[in-house]
Structures are given as structure tokens and as C-alpha cells.
Structure 1
Amino acid sequence: MQSPTPNATGGLPPGTVADAQRGNWVDRFAPDWLKPYARLARWDRPIGFWLLFWPCGFGLGLAAIANPQRGFDVVALVLCLVGAIMMRGAGCTFNDIVDRDFDARVARTRSRPIPSGQVTPWHALLFMLAQSLAGFLILIQFNMFTIWLGIASLGLVAIYPFMKRITWWPQLYLGFAFSWGALVGWASQDAGLTLPAVLAYIGSILWVIGYDTIYALQDVEDDALAGVKSTARLFGANATPAVAGFYAGAVLLWAIAAFMVGAGLPFVLGMGAVVAILVWQVVTLVPSDGTNALVRFKANHWAGLALTLALVLDWLI
């Protein structure tokens, strides 16, 4: 592996990446041989696997309310979390292999392990396969329907990195992949799918489009120079009302799904926290300020946690 050049890191501490928080656990504690691969899998930026994981919580929570005698499957929740970490890492690794030339031309991403020369594309491919195998070992703990459902998601993961080249809606395709956990969580309990699970999935897609539009605001200028498309560029000055619309649609579909399985007042009260977090993002968003956008993007971890807790609270009460 090559050492990163000064131009690749832009004056950052050796090996670190521009869009990771300084002093994260990978920088501080991971052995030197592991650090480039941990950064490739984004273990130093856990927000991604949380956002991939929370839809699993939505599906499990809905299934628990639909069948309260069976209850909330904590074991399945833990398996989904480990699987989300593995598959998010594999997806990020694949994305960085495909996007290595684009990443080298964008200020926020040129310090990543592949464009900066810390990891070769071949080694990255082997690392991606290892993470995928770990994810598959998690997946086969579930019923056969869920196993095939999980395998089907690989097609979405495979096409996503190419969407920014051919469509202004790569966030939609990210939503297809990142929301799949809502289907997996439900299917892990029922070995099938019904309308509430599908509505939760579509609502999560709208949520992903909203928060990833916020995320993409950080790169609007560099993306324009590199020829990368995004909803942030597509919406332009209308990014804030567009995000508000996607969030409103997500809340509506989540609420319909919950009421269809019998949720009541406890869910409504818990859902208030979700709405408050999303409204705060929209009201305080400054599209021209990348730091502002990143903080609001990361707040969606708490929105996902709040929605999962609202469902669990309703099942308990």
C-alpha cells in the first residue's frame, strides 16, 4: 500500500479522511494495519450503519404490534445491527472502488483510502467480499423468505454507485437500498410481506431522499465540476422545501403503517419526537453551509431511534 501524498490529504494528519470526526475511535485505537480498511468501511463514521439499521427496527416494531403475543424480537434486532454494520461497510467499499476517480476530484473525498493510495482497488475488493460473507452468515440465521429477500437487495447495492452518473435521482436508489431493512425486519417475523411493511418501506425511501439531499448539499460545487448528479443539485434553491415534502410523506406513511397494525396513543406520543427532529432540520437548514448540513443529516440517527422506540413503546403498553 502507498502512503498518501500531501496533495491527496490536503494537509490532514497522515491517513485520516476529511469527512470523519477528528479523534474518532479508529484514529485513536485501531491498529495501524487496520485503519485504512476501517476507514474504507466507514467504521469511523457510524452514522451510515445506524441509518441502514433503523428501518430494520421499524419493521420489527410493526411486527411486534401486529402480533403482541409473539413480542419484540431483540435477538433479531441485534442480528440486524451486526448485519447493517457489515453490509454498510461492504457497500461503502464497493462504492469507493467504483467512484475512485470521482472521489479524487472532490475535496471532501480525495483523502479516502483508495484515491489517497492507502488501499489498492484489488485489496479493497477482497475486503468487500470478506464483509459480504460476514453479512451473509448473519442473514442465514433468519427464515428462508428473509434470506432470499436479503439476497435480492444486493442488486440495489450494486447499481447505486452508477446512478449519480446517469440520473439526477441517485438519492432515490439509495433509498431503495437503505430502506430494505423495513422489509427484512417484518419478514424475519412473518416469513412474508404485507401492506404495513411495504408502506413503512416506502416511507423510509422518502426519508432517505430527504436526508441524503441534505448530505449532498456539502458537495454541490465539487459535484458540478466532476459531473456528478444529485437531488441537491436538481432542487437547487428549492432544496429546503423539497426535503420538507419528503419528510412529510415519510411521516404520513409511517403513521398509516403503524395504525394499520393497531398502534395507538403511545405511538402518537413517541412519533412527536420524530416530527420534532425532522422539523428542526428543515427550519434550521442552511443549504450553503456544509457544516450545518452535516449536523442536520446526522440528526436522522435520533429520528430513526425515536421511531423505533415509539413502536416498541406502543407494543409494551
Structure 2
Amino acid sequence: MAGPQFPERAPGTPDLADMRPDDWVARWLPSSWGPYARLCRLDRPVGTWLTLLPCLAALVQAADGWPTLFRLFIFSLGALLMRGIGCCFNDIFDRDIDQKVERTRFRPLTSGQLSLKNALWFVLAQLAVCALLLFALNEYSRWLAVALVPIVIVYPLCKRFTYWPQVVLGIGFNWGMLMAWSDTQNVVPPGAIAMWLGAVLWQVGYDSIYAYVDVRDDIKLGLRSTALRFADKGKIWISGFYVATVALWLYGGMSMGMDWPYYVVMAVIAGHFIWQMSVFSLSRPDRNFMLFRANMAVGVLLVAAALAGTVLQ
């Protein structure tokens, strides 16, 4: 039986390469620092925001209002570092594969800007800083942080043996939501778990949109992703994940006793998801990349919902 047919990229599709020679890293950082900044994706902060914003929402809900500035600093730095560490491991494991993918061929390890030895030392340095952050957390949260490390390491390998690497990514990169509760309340209640599960499914949805950008390269290289699993039914699958996300966030809000403004913002988020699915197209990788980035707005709205449901009570 023939496999699913994916349309060719539309004419005029812009270059979606990860590395750009005219970004702020090239303009503002010393040339010797550039490969390290790009290895941990400092030049592409969207992923950091998508990691941090759900965590900030959880901090607000756990504090039942404004979290302390110290806790905001610790969790913000932790999100930046863990996202960077995840990207480093991804590039280390995929350095040979990235040579064969149009979008990733200029990454530091693939293009020879950085040696594997230096990349490993850089990862160890980031892990050392994360280890220092553990002293700012309670014991419960320290154990959760330790449990996160293998998830971050194994994620880049998942696309070699499962069509669901995005699930592992969602689990790991939203882990800070659970830690926000454990550190603030020393407990992770059912409502917090529902919010975290909703964020996991949200990430499966928007990262599947992103996966369609690389689908043809993945087929050639024998890699797997949710985009290949969903094939031409991507809109149905992703819509289902978005519906489940809203349902879990509604349950989480009710479980925590969020006030009515929380649900108003949730309605806006639902509307944003509807808009995404109306724009999503298998044949337009440039449009799908735009939709991936547009999920930063969902993260901001999630923080706004948490504030609306607590501060405005």
C-alpha cells in the first residue's frame, strides 16, 4: 500500500533555515560565543518562551496571586537553561542527521563551527548551573528536577523509534509547571496535574504543526514524528489535541476555584485554536512555522488567565 502523499512546498516558500547570518547573535556577541549561543538556541527564543510561560501561569496559580520575585527568577533561569540543554542534546545526537536536512544544515555542530568536545563541556556547564539552582528549591522540587534530566536527554532519540516524540517533548518542557506547585505549596494537586496535562497536549498540537515543516526530510531519513503519524489527517488530530487542552484547562481552573475572568480568557484561547486550525495547511510550511510561533500568544493568554482567576478574585 502506498504511503500518505504530502504536497510539495508552495512556490515562493521562504528559507526556514534555523541559522541566520544577520541575527542579533552575529551583531552583538563575540564571534567565538556565537556557536554556543546558537547551540542552545539563544538566537531563537520562541522555544524558551513556550517553556517559560506555562510555568509562570502555574506559579501564579500556586501562589494564588503574584509569586515572589525570587521564585520568578529561579524558574525563569531554570526554563532558559533546561530548554538550552535540551537543544544541545538534540544537536549532539542529531549532528549527522542535521547535515541532510535543509532547515538544520547550518547548525553549529553540523557545519563544523563547534566541536563535539566543546559542545559536551558546554552542556556540563549548563547542568552545573542547574544543579546550583536546586539549592533554591525545596526537597520535593529537587527530586522532580532530577527526574526531568533523563526525559530531556532521551527526547532527541525518540524520533528514531516512535511516532510520538512530541509527547516526550511536551512532558519534559512543561515539567516546570509541576515544580512550580511543589515548590510553592509542597504538593501537586489534581487541578495542577490537569493544567500540566493540558499543556503537554497543547505542545503535542503545536509541535506537530512544526513537524510538518520537516516531513519530507523525515521520510527520506527514516525518522518519525506525529506529522507522519497523522499524515493528511493532521487538522483532525491537532484539533482533537487542542479541544482536550481547553477541556483540561477548564477542569484545572474549576478544581482550583478560579474566578469567572479565568474562563473569559479560556474562551479567547479556544478562539485562537480555532483560528490556527482555519489557517493550518499541509502544503504551506512557511504558514505552519508562523502558527508554531503564534502559540506564544496562547502562552501569554494562559498567564493572563491565571492572573485573571486569582488577582481579580
TM value normalised by structure 2: 0.91
The structure 2 residue matched to 1:216, chosen from 202, 211, 216, is 211
Q: Which amino acid aligns with 2:228?
A: R
Q: Distance in 2 between matches of 1:125 and 1:273?
A: 43
- Structure-1 residue corresponding to 2:184: 189
The structure 1 residue matched to 2:72, chosen from 70, 77, 100, is 77
- Structure-2 residue corresponding to 1:61: 60
Where in structure 2 are there 5+ consecutive unaligned residues?
1-15
- Structure-1 residue corresponding to 2:201: 206
Deviation at 1:223, TM superposition (A): 0.6
Q: Which amino acid aligns with 2:52?
A: F
Tell whether the 8 Å contact from 1:263 to 1:314 is kept in structure 2 after alignment. yes
- Structure-2 residue corresponding to 1:98: 93
Q: Bigger relative contact order, structure 1 or 2, given CA contacts below 8 A and separation 6+?
A: 2
- Structure-1 residue corresponding to 2:6: none
Tell whether the 8 Å contact from 1:58 to 1:200 is kept in structure 2 after alignment. no
Tell whether the 8 Å contact from 1:160 to 1:174 is kept in structure 2 after alignment. yes
Deviation at 1:74, TM superposition (A): 3.8
Q: Distance in 2 between matches of 1:106 and 1:171?
A: 19
- Structure-2 residue corresponding to 1:256: 251
Over the aligned positions, Cα root-mean-square deviation in angstroms equals 1.7
Q: Distance in 1 between matches of 2:285 and 2:173?
A: 23
- Structure-1 residue corresponding to 2:11: none
- Structure-1 residue corresponding to 2:13: none
Q: Aligned pair 1:269/2:264, yes or no?
A: yes
Tell whether the 8 Å contact from 1:62 to 1:258 is kept in structure 2 after alignment. no
Query: What does residue range 285-300 of structure 1 map to in structure 2 within 5 Å?
Result: 285-300=280-295
Q: Distance in 2 between matches of 1:254 and 1:314?
A: 12
Deviation at 1:280, TM superposition (A): 1.5
Q: Aligned pair 1:178/2:176, yes or no?
A: no
Percent of pairs with identical residues: 38
The structure 1 residue matched to 2:307, chosen from 294, 309, 312, is 312
Tell whether the 8 Å contact from 2:280 to 2:287 is kept in structure 1 after alignment. yes
1:4-57 superposed Cα distances (whole Å, 9 cap, x missing partner): xxxxxxxxxxxxx92246643212211101001100000000011111112212
Q: Which amino acid aligns with 2:109?
A: I
Q: Distance in 2 between matches of 1:246 and 1:92?
A: 24
Q: Distance in 1 between matches of 2:73 and 2:273?
A: 26
- Structure-1 residue corresponding to 2:163: 168
Q: Which amino acid aligns with 1:61?
A: V
Q: Which amino acid aligns with 1:50?
A: W
Deviation at 1:78, TM superposition (A): 2.6
1:38-93 superposed Cα distances (whole Å, 9 cap, x missing partner): 0000000001111111221232122133xx6xx53343223211111111111111
- Structure-2 residue corresponding to 1:9: none
Tell whether the 8 Å contact from 2:215 to 2:227 is kept in structure 1 after alignment. yes
Q: Distance in 2 between matches of 1:224 and 1:72?
A: 45
Tell whether the 8 Å contact from 2:54 to 2:302 is kept in structure 1 after alignment. no
Q: Distance in 1 between matches of 2:274 and 2:135?
A: 39
The structure 2 residue matched to 1:281, chosen from 276, 279, 287, is 276
Tell whether the 8 Å contact from 1:53 to 1:84 is kept in structure 2 after alignment. yes
Tell whether the 8 Å contact from 2:19 to 2:106 is kept in structure 1 after alignment. no
Relative to structure 1, the CA distance from residue 217 to residue 49 in structure 2 (aligned partners, 3 Å threshold; closer, same or farther) is same
- Structure-2 residue corresponding to 1:25: 24
- Structure-2 residue corresponding to 1:45: 44
2:136 counterpart SS class? coil
Moved more, 264-273 or 164-173: 264-273
Relative to structure 1, the CA distance from residue 295 to residue 139 in structure 2 (aligned partners, 3 Å threshold; closer, same or farther) is farther
Q: Distance in 2 between matches of 1:35 and 1:61?
A: 35
TM value normalised by structure 1: 0.90
Q: Distance in 1 between matches of 2:69 and 2:229?
A: 41
How many residue pairs get aligned? The number is 298
